[in-house]
Amino acid sequence: MKRSKYDRPVRPAGEGGRLTTSAMIASLAGPGQRTKAAPFGHALVEIAAQRPDIVGLTADLSKYTDLHVFAKAYPDRFYQMGMAEQVLMGAAAGLAREGFTAFATTYAVFASRRAYDFICMAIAEESLDVKIVCALPGLTTGYGPSHQATEDLAIFRGLPNMTILDPCDAHEIEQATHAIAAHKGPVYMRLLRGNVPLVLDEYGYRFELGKAKVVRDGRDVLIVSTGLMTMRALEAATALKADGVDAAVLHVPTIKPLDVDTIVAEAGGGRLVVVAENHTIVGGLGEATAGALMRAGVTPTFRQIALPDAFLDAGALPTLHDRYGISSEAVARRIKGWL
């Protein structure tokens, strides 16, 4: 079996010979689920064809953030900064000051932990046109705390001028990439890369910056979700329906600015409200939603499905998602227990 510095071989593991997936980069698609390859990279190429101001930068991770698609199409507008995330953000800021719209890609842990001060002082304070697009958000890698960006939303939510997105699938990533290219000011966008599942197109969904949308209605429970957890919420809602539980799913792709009006309106109907996110329980969508509801005087029965306030284990993603409660089966099980 071949190895690379970014991947591990697939092999039987554990009792029963269950197959593991790559610890580093594994598809989030279920068996037979439709996928689309590199939606961010291809969308950026489409935009760049009409926008000569678009440039792309990365810190030695073009292949693993899908920016290699842009690099191949526009090599004269692509900058490989090496393993130097602080330099990456400083260079992106400099290009933005010269009138370019800079898309800077790396892993979410490196942007949020290693380059935060550069993002704060060089990009956010000046409200520059830099789009920070980061792969491996939350628990989407099994390589342990060094690569699991479980607290990135909490880190960036407190940063003035920063728009924050957590798209659900390939359909939304394409649309969100076009939207942030048109938006003036800094953006942090979580990225699912590689062969990304297609889900929301089946619901006629259209992304709008700053807007939460009901993807599925239901009378018993409202699941407020973001990112890949909207996929899981929809899967859980289907499973719950078989048990007589009618679950609604409110997808919130824009974490900041939060669509408070829609959240308050949907949460005020007397249903159990469950916030589901691929992020630590501290400082993400759950606490943002709870704060918005309290300030509005809306007090439903409220629960959170999120990652624990802990450094997580390494391992295969299906095993980790079950262990930490963000698989569709775990989501359905917990909601049934709360009803």
Q: Give the pLDDT of residue 24.
A: 60
**Plot region of 251 (φ>0 → left; ψ -120 to 50 → alpha; else → beta):** beta
Domains of the chain: 35-197 (3.40.50.970), 210-338 (3.40.50.920)
Question: In a 3-state reduction of DSSP, which class is residue 249?
Answer: strand
Among 85, 151, 174, 277, the active-site one is 85
Q: How far is CA 91 from the centre of its chain?
A: 24
* Residues with Cβ within 8 Å of residue 72, at least 6 apart in sequence: none
CA–CA gap between residue 160 and residue 136 (Å, rounded) = 24
Distances (CA, A) of 223 to 126, 173, 219, 285, 295: 36, 21, 11, 12, 20
What values do phi and psi take at 225, rounded to 5?
Answer: -135, 165
**Strand-strand pairing, 78-80 and 54-58:** parallel
CB-based contact 191:164 (threshold 8 Å): no
Give the span between the Cα atoms of 193 and 178, in whole angstroms.
Answer: 16
- The reply to whether 46 belongs to the active site is no
CA distance 85 to 57: 10
Q: How far apart are CA 294 and CA 290, in angstroms?
A: 6
DSSP string across 86-102: HHHHHHHHHHHHTT-EE
pLDDT of residue 338: 97
Which run of H or E residues covers position 165?
strand 163-165
Residue-level pLDDT, tens digit, the chain, 339 residues: 333 333 333 333 334 444 445 566 567 888 889 999 999 999 999 999 999 999 999 999 999 999 999 999 999 999 999 999 999 999 999 999 999 999 999 999 999 999 999 999 999 999 999 999 999 999 999 999 999 999 999 999 999 999 999 999 999 999 999 999 999 999 999 999 999 999 999 999 999 999 999 999 999 999 999 999 999 999 999 999 999 999 999 999 999 999 999 999 999 989 999 999 999 999 999 999 999 999 999 999 999 999 999 999 999 999 999 999 999 999 999 999 999
Residues found in the chain? 339
Of 333, 337, 276, 339, residue with least CA distance to 305 = 276
pLDDT of residue 269: 86
Q: How far apart are the C-alpha atoms of 51 and 255, rounded to whole Å? A: 27
Please state the pTM of the whole predicted model: 0.93
**The pLDDT of residue 23:** 62
Instruction: Please state, in angstroms and rounded to a whole number, the distance separating the CA atoms of residues 78 and 93.
Output: 15
Q: Helix and strand tally (H, E) in the chain?
A: 12, 16
pLDDT of the residue at 25: 59
In DSSP terms, 223 is beta-bridged to 249, 274
Phi, psi at residue 328, to the nearest 5°?
A: -65, -35
